Structure 1
């Protein structure tokens, strides 16, 4: 339960929480995205996220920031978000993807070890950007509802 937290980032180690069943950062309005590793939680079935605050929300279409920004440099990321293998010395391939996690569609930041791992990502959620992308003003999102 992270109700109303001031967190701005969830660490990728959350993917190691095999017993996590519920993820509730509701009203944590500074959380705009989540690590792809959240999809590794096998028992995660319920979530309550303030989706209006997240990048790419289908109602507001908050734009995805460009991953060229130093704000998203993975200073503490040690493994590939997809295969859990080591990251190359040059750094990861970073992409955004919108995927269903528990009961919400969330914007997920992927730190991949290779283009092959980016290519192995699942299809993004319906009514969202249809491919993994690097964010920025050139990303065309479906119209808001």
Structure 2
């Protein structure tokens, strides 16, 4: 065969990022369904609550503790979970704050719907790869504290406000009589309890929580970030959004992402 006719072979970058197969390891997501050629007019947060008694969660806690103890630089926890266990994981434990030596976090093909703000404590994180985690539509603003983060591999078509389809953002609720700082409904508020300001890391006084969406370039992708701020000053301290996205932090809802699209 002529050398020019030989088929090109490409290595599988994720060959060692996939755990054992078998039964389904994630749930279907139609949040940003584009069948029919158009986006949904409104979207909502995934309401999934993490079952902290599930075998997969307990196994993950063990893996996080082991990684923190041995100071490893590469953390691929899902590889060590069974398909059933992977499906039980919809967020990561707050204990990831202890993974200060981890440089590469691989969450390929996860069933995650949210990442906790404690990711901001992973100060040596340089590569973040939740690729094909198609239920993961947004990230916490705290990821911007990972100053060494230079490389990301995210399924951008699954993100709110992504540059390809411009799906809308969920409308952010304001603090009202339903607000309970330590018992937050993820389907209404997007995440769990709010312990600190996303911007200054200080406490958030009762009834003073201010929430905004902002699209920022993080590593190699523009990501939709959720801000939980303690004051107007902290909102004013937010950086300028990425070019071509909404020009200011916003509350979400239909029409927001069309602002400033070029």
Q: TM-score, normalised by structure 1?
A: 0.93
The correspondence for 1:100, drawn from 207, 211, 217, is 217
After the TM superposition, which residues 99-118 of structure 1 pair with which residues of structure 2 at under 5 Å, given as runs? 99-118=216-235
The correspondence for 1:130, drawn from 238, 244, 247, is 247
Of the two, which has the highest radius of gyration? 2
Q: TM-score, normalised by structure 2?
A: 0.53
Secondary structure of the corresponding residue to residue 196 of structure 2:
coil
Does the CA-based 8 Å contact 2:215-2:242 persist in structure 1? Answer: yes
Does the CA-based 8 Å contact 1:60-1:144 persist in structure 2? Answer: no
Deviation of residue 75 (structure 1)?
3.5
Partner of 1:43: 148
In structure 1, how many angstroms separate the alpha carbons of the residues matched to 2:222 and 2:204? 26
- Runs of 4+ in structure 1 over 3 Å off: 142-145
Secondary structure of the corresponding residue to residue 39 of structure 1:
helix
- Deviation per CA, 1:47-100: give whole Å up to 9, x if none: 000000000101100100100285226532211000101011115200000001
RCO (CA 8 Å, sep 6+): is it higher in 1 or 2?
1
Q: Would you tell me which structure has more helix in proportion to its own residues? A: 2
- CA RMSD of the aligned region, Å? 1.8
The correspondence for 2:237, drawn from 102, 108, 120, is 120
Alignment length (residue pairs): 145
